[in-house]
Chain A
């Protein structure tokens, strides 16, 4: 199956700092999503971004499908950004969403 690797596994920031999370995948995909799992366990859909760049407030994401990676940018981080960020992909020939192991983000006040 497709491999999804996220880095870094853990990240600690001071409030106001910027960060970049990376997702590498091993095969061509037609679906890539970024999720934030908040401290209550909810999976919040941040971006559906199989290719290109999108922005939503302080968050933006870029996927370079030909090079098999995606980046999630968080600017001016806030304590409410804490949680686990997951990248998940669907291989072009498949139908299942395969998750990476996540990046645990902690934003300190």
Chain B
């Protein structure tokens, strides 16, 4: 199936640990995003990559480091996890060469205990 897929779906970990969330899209898109959805359901952009280059970097702690090995993948690595990092993280992609919609993955629910 053509889609944006992210793994894992659920992630439960303790404070201080380091974890990664992976995202892959097979839609041939050149731009990928990470969004964070907090407990109040608000969706906020964190990062965006276009053809492996960082183009959007919101005010996010530098414990969060995105990595794009190729334009089909955008992974999110989080160091020294804190309680406040608990949220749902969504990956998305689009074709930036035309006015096209964003396609979202199903989200990763991160719980830090």
A and B are interacting partners: yes
- Distance in angstroms from B8 CB to nearest chain A CB is 14
Is residue B86 contacting chain A, with contact meaning CB distance below 8 A?
no
Give the CA-CA distance A30 to B102 in the complex, in Å.
13
Interface size class on chain B is 20 to 34
Q: Residue of B at shortest CB range from A31?
A: B99
User: Does the CB pair B96–A33 fall under 8 Å?
Assistant: no
Q: Residue of A at shortest CB range from B96?
A: A95
A interface: dominant SS: strand
Most chain A CB inside 10 Å of its own CB: which residue of B55, B99, B103: B99
User: Does the CB pair B41–A95 fall under 8 Å?
Assistant: no
Is residue A25 contacting chain B, with contact meaning CB distance below 8 A?
no
Q: A86 — which chain B residues lie within 8 A by C-beta? A: 43
User: Does the CB pair A41–B109 fall under 8 Å?
Assistant: yes
Q: Residue of B at shortest CB range from A86?
A: B43
